[in-house]
Amino acid sequence: MRPYTYLEAAAALLVEMAGPEPVHIEMSARGPKKYYDVHRPLTEQDARAHLADHSTRGATLRHPGGMTRALCYDADTSDDWLRLVEAAWHLAACGYVPLLEVSPAGRGGHLWIIYTTLVRAVWAHRHAVQVAPTLAHIKECWPGESGHKVRLPGGLYVGPGIRAWCKLYDAYGKPFATGGAGAARALLTHQAPAALVPAFPDAEAIGQTSELTALPIDGVAQRREPAPLPNSEHQAQPWVDQRWQEKYGRSLWFQFSPAMLSAWYNERAQVEDILPTEKNGMGLACWRGERTASVGLRADGWVDFGACARRNDGKQDGGDALELTVRVTQQAKPEVMRQLARQLVREARAAMESAAWRGESPPAWVQPFMSPAGWQRYHALCAEAAHAATHTWGVAGFSTPSEQAQISTAQANQGPQKPKESAQAVPDGSADRAGKESHT
């Protein structure tokens, strides 16, 4: 697809996201107001100008009948931004493809969920909060009953003294090219299936949570339903939405939340291995260029005792092994988490398959991450292993053990044979695609 075609398709998508309401907004580069009303619906020409840095537009995201093509959540503080980042992880785990848009103003940004077609807004909001409960703490979201408008994604942030692109990232911290065709591709490729949104006949208002408990487990709200009997095959299910699990979770072998991934890494990582100590017994805070080591390392984490290493609340900087890894690598935390998720999936898959072929139960550390599809895969491998115990794939095709013994005897009589190279294809049931490694 040629770049201008991407722009045209993305412009049409932005018009659909904006909705047909008779007033939209334009961001003011000179002030005094931040936005001015434009008394007509957004057009594709406006949307192309938005993507091409000529003007910055916004809209209510509302369609008649309570429908919408997109949801947006706004974070104006660092705490709320972390909530949006965590929400993006949960959403990505359940089949969504959210976009994170960082504000050049330095006050957070937006989380966008774009759907493949129109969905009922209250149902979409409710399911998003059900999948990612941290969204319940976000005060500003669109579309809303107030009719307020929000800046559309993929454009510039303009104002007196500022003119900069709003950068787009996926749920795992991977950046996209800013503006133009780069932003257009990000918008077009990050659309969640509308079928993810279930019907909530009793949901008449955004934020209604009659079926959700007040206290989440592992950071995800649970349904008020009878708990399943405690067995290892259901331990990985509670944080995954049941409707989505029944509909889309059949091919995912491993599922885990960011909290589970963090705990897995912290249990096996040693802070001394991540940041070796200097002669004074302290670690060197390489991420802030210090010359005298002042990072204290202990069994449960680390504390930076440097004079300039204080957080906004006045406390010394510090944390667990994962936070230290983020500091030392100087990578965005979502990117570090994405790499760790790949590692977990690789190790869990190898351990599960090895146990199945040996006729043993999966290791205890693997079982909490296994989904119903993972257990199905495990049982299938156990059946294959049992079958292989009585049957063997021979040179001429399928053969019984006695027939294979005859072949082996004949080959022995012929003397040593040069081994042939062979390759075994391993089916990839972990769905390792578009940043979903951490949940498969």
Tell me the per-residue pLDDT of 230-287, one tens digit each, with 9 for 90 and over.
Answer: 333 333 333 334 443 444 344 478 888 788 888 999 999 888 888 888 888 888 888 8
Q: Is residue 147 part of a domain?
A: yes
Q: Is residue 438 part of a domain?
A: yes
- The tokens for 123 are 């149902």
Q: What is the pTM of this model?
A: 0.51
Whether 65 and 106 map to the same domain: the answer is yes
For position 307, what pLDDT does the model report?
67
For position 288, what pLDDT does the model report?
81
Whether 121 and 250 map to the same domain: the answer is no
Whether 35 and 134 map to the same domain: the answer is yes
Whether 290 and 247 map to the same domain: the answer is no
Mean pLDDT of 30-53: 94
Higher-confidence residue: 281 or 96? Answer: 96
Query: End of a domain among 196, 229, 246?
Result: 196
Whether 312 and 165 map to the same domain: the answer is no
| Residue 39 CB neighbour total at 10 angstroms | 7
Whether 111 and 181 map to the same domain: the answer is yes
The domain that holds 156 is classified in CATH as 3.90.920
Cβ-proximal residues to 407 (8 Å cutoff; 6+ apart), any chain: 394, 395, 396, 399
Whether 182 and 242 map to the same domain: the answer is no
Whether 10 and 150 map to the same domain: the answer is yes
- The tokens for 295 are 């990072």
Region of poorest pLDDT, from 182-186, 305-309, 399-403 = 399-403
Counting residues of the chain whose pLDDT is more than 70, the rounded percentage is: 74
- Distance, in Å, from the CA atom of 262 to the CA atom of 323, rounded to the nearest integer, reads 9
- The SS3 assignment for 272 reads helix
Domain containing 263 equals 259-330
Number of separate domains in the chain: 3
Give the DSSP H/E element, type plus range, for residue 82. helix 78-93
Q: Is residue 424 part of a domain?
A: no
Pairing mode of beta strands 24-27, 109-120: unpaired
Whether 312 and 326 map to the same domain: the answer is yes
Q: Is residue 344 part of a domain?
A: no
The 10s digit of each residue's pLDDT in 107-165 is 789 999 999 999 999 999 999 999 999 999 999 999 988 889 999 999 999 999 899 99
Mean pLDDT of 71-78: 93
Q: Is residue 420 part of a domain?
A: no
For position 390, what pLDDT does the model report?
63
Whether 365 and 403 map to the same domain: the answer is yes
The C-alpha torsion from 195 through 200 and 204 to 209, rounded to 10°, is -110
Q: Is residue 103 part of a domain?
A: yes
Q: pLDDT confidence of 393, banded at 50, 70, 90?
A: very low
Interaxial angle between packed helices 258-268 and 333-358, expressed in degrees from 0 to 180 and rounded to the nearest 10:
80
Whether 51 and 172 map to the same domain: the answer is yes
Higher-confidence residue: 437 or 65? Answer: 65
Q: Is residue 263 part of a domain?
A: yes
For position 319, what pLDDT does the model report?
85
Q: Is residue 222 part of a domain?
A: no
For position 161, what pLDDT does the model report?
87
- Distance, in Å, from the CA atom of 347 to the CA atom of 363, rounded to the nearest integer, reads 11
Whether 285 and 249 map to the same domain: the answer is no
For position 134, what pLDDT does the model report?
92
Which residue type occupies 36?
A: Y
The 10s digit of each residue's pLDDT in 182-232 is 899 999 999 999 999 998 865 443 333 333 222 232 223 333 333 332 333
Region of poorest pLDDT, from 56-60, 63-67, 91-95 = 91-95
Whether residue 437 contacts residue 341, with contact meaning beta carbons closer than 8 Å, is answered with: yes
Q: pLDDT confidence of 366, banded at 50, 70, 90?
A: very high
What are the C-alpha distances in Å from 161 to residues 157, 165, 179?
A: 11, 14, 20
